[in-house]
Amino acid sequence: MSKQRARFVFEPATMTWAEVAEYAFRKSESWLRSHIPAIPDFPRPDPVYSTFAKAQVDDWLAKRFGIIRPARDFEAELLERARGTGESAIPRRKTA
C-alpha cells in the first residue's frame, strides 16, 4: 500500500470584488461596488490591482460579529512569548 502525501491547499491572499461580495455579504459585485462607501470601516481595494486583502476582510468580519481576538493576534503573542519580549496575556504553566 502506498503512502499518501498531504496535499498543499493554496489560499490566495487577495480577493476580487466579486469574491469579496460573495464571501462577506452573499451579494453581487455590483451591489458591493454601489454600497461600499456606506459600509463603515470596510477595507478598500488596493489601488494598483483593485483587489482586497483577504486578511483585512476577515478582520473586518471578526470585528463586525464581535470576535474579539483574530487568530493572528494569538500567534503574535505566542511568538512574542517565545522570544521572551514584553508581557503576554497568554497564561503560562506553572513549573515545579
User: Which grid coordinates are listed for 48?
Assistant: 494598483
Quote the mean pLDDT of the chain: 82
Domain, as residue range, for 30: 14-83
Which of residues 39 and 67 earns the better pLDDT score? 39
The Cβ-side half-sphere exposure at 44, using a 13 Å CA radius, reads 5
Position 51 scores a pLDDT of: 96
Q: How far is it, in rounded angstroms, from Cα 53 to Cα 56?
A: 5
Nearest CA among 45, 54, 57, 61 for reference residue 15: 54
Is 94 within a domain? Answer: no
Is 54 within a domain? Answer: yes
Q: How far is it, in rounded angstroms, from Cα 89 to Cα 18?
A: 38
Structure confidence by residue, pLDDT tens digits, 12-56: 899 999 999 999 999 999 999 999 999 999 999 999 999 999 999
Per the confidence metrics, is the pTM higher than 0.75? no
Is 95 within a domain? Answer: no
